Amino acid sequence: RIEDLSVPRDRNGDFQTSLFQPYQRRDGWLEEAILSLYQSGVSTRQVGKFVERLLDGNPYSATTVSNITEKIRNDIESWQSRTLESNYTSLYLDCLFFSVRRDTVEKEAIYIVLGITLEGTREILG
C-alpha cells in the first residue's frame, strides 16, 4: 500500500497510470527475489519475514509466499513428468557434494544426469 499517493481524478473516471497495472499487488522484481530465495531452500515463513523487513514492516504472510512459489512448483512437476526420448547416444552422470547444516554439518550428494539425443542436443534428465 502506498501512503499519500495522490491519484488525479477525471470527469469520466477512466484515468490509468502507466507506472503499474490497476489493482496490482506485487511487483515483478519482488516475485523473482522470492522465487530465488525459495529455490535456495529458504522456507516460506522465513521468506515472508525477510520480505516484511524489506518492506518496512508491511505484513507478508507465508501463505502469500506459498501462492507465489506455487508457480514454480507447477513448472517443476511438469518437468519431472515430461516424456523423455526413447534413445540417447550418451549419458553423463555427475555428482556434486554440498555441505548441509541440520543438527550437524553433513555432506549431501546431488546427482545430475545429462543425455545426448540422436540429433546431438543435450538434455538434463534428472
b or e along 35-69 (b: 16 or more beta carbons within 10 Å of the residue's beta carbon)? bebbeeebebeebbebbeeeeeeeebeeebbeebb
Whether 1 has a pLDDT exceeding 60, the answer reads no
Give the pLDDT of residue 89: 94
Q: Which strand (E) or helix (H) includes residue 30? A: helix 28-39
124 or 74, which is more confident? 124
What's the whole-model pTM score?
A: 0.47
What is the rounded average pLDDT of the residues 59-75? 79
Residue recorded with cell 514454480: 72
**pLDDT tens digits, one per residue of 2-39:** 677 676 677 777 777 666 666 666 567 777 888 888 77
Give the pLDDT of residue 94: 93
CB atoms within 10 A of CB 34: 23
Query: Is residue 114 very low, low, confident or very high in pLDDT (cuts 50, 70, 90)?
Result: very high
**pLDDT tens digits, one per residue of 30-50:** 778 888 887 777 887 888 888
Query: Is residue 91 very low, low, confident or very high in pLDDT (cuts 50, 70, 90)?
Result: very high
5 or 79, which is more confident? 79
Whether 102 has a pLDDT exceeding 60, the answer reads yes
